[in-house]
Amino acid sequence: MNSNSRNKEQKYQRLLVQLEELFQKVDNPLSRMATICAVLHHKNPHFFWTGFYLISDDNELEVACYQGPLACMRLKKDTGVCWSGINSTQAVIVDDVHSFPGHIACNPLSKSEIVIPLRNGQKIVGVLDIDSDKLAAFDTTDAEMLTKIVNLVYEQ
C-alpha cells in the first residue's frame, strides 16, 4: 500500500470512529444516513455529490438524504451506476462516467463515481452514491472503507 492509500485509509478510519461515537446516541437509519452524508461530503472537498438512494415500493431508486447540487429524484430499475451496484451486490467504481454504458447524468460536472450497496441485514435496500468532479477519484480503499461506514446505518 503506498502512502497516499495509507493516508486515505487513516482519514476514513478517523471518520468511522467519529460516526460510531455519534451513532451511540441515535439508531434511526435516516438520521444516520444524513449524518454520514454531512461528514463524508464536508471532509472530502473532491466529493461533488454525496447521498443515498433507497429502493421504493415500486422497485425504483428514490433519492433520500444528500449533500450537493440537486439530483435525479428517481432512477429507473436496472439503469445506471446505482442499479449496477444493487444488481452486482458489490461496490462499483467508475473512473470516467462518460464511458459507463447507461450512466445517468444528474449533473454535467460529475466525472467519476462510486456506489456502495446499503444492506439491512442480508437485504439490499439502497445505495450510497458519491460523485466527484475529478476523473478516477475512487479506488478500492474508498470501496472498502465506505462499505464499513455504510454498514453502520443499520448496525444495532
52 near ligand SME (CB under 6 A): no
User: Does 54 engage in binding with ligand SME (CB under 6 A)?
Assistant: no
The verdict on 71 binding ligand SME (CB under 6 A) reads yes
Among residues 85, 20, 92, which one has the least CA distance to residue 53?
85
Of 155, 156, 153, whose CA–CA distance to 32 is shortest? 153
29 binds ligand SME (CB under 6 A): no
Residue 114: CB minimum distance to ligand SME, A: 10
The Cα 9–Cα 70 span in angstroms is 29
104, 137, 145, 150: residue in contact with ligand SME (rule CB under 6 A): 104
Would you state the cell numbers that stand for residue 44, as one nine-digit string? 472530502
Please tell me whether residue 129 binds ligand SME under the rule CB under 6 A. yes
Distance CA 14, CA 17 (A): 5
Task: Decide: 61 and 53 in contact? Cβ < 8 Å.
Answer: yes
Query: Residue 97's CB: how many other CB atoms inside 10 A?
Result: 18
Shortest spacing between CB 18 and ligand SME, in angstroms: 24
Query: In the complex, which residue's CB is closest to ligand SME?
Result: 80
CA distance 68 to 131: 10
Q: Which stretch binds ligand SME (CB under 6 A): 4-12, 22-30, 73-81, 133-141?
A: 73-81
Q: Assess contact for 51 and 72: CB atoms under 8 A.
A: no
Binding piece for ligand SME, criterion CB under 6 A, among 5-13, 37-45, 102-110, 132-140: 102-110
Residue 55 makes contact with ligand SME by CB under 6 A? no
The contact set with ligand SME (CB under 6 A) reads 49, 71-72, 75, 80-82, 103-104, 106, 110, 113, 129, 131
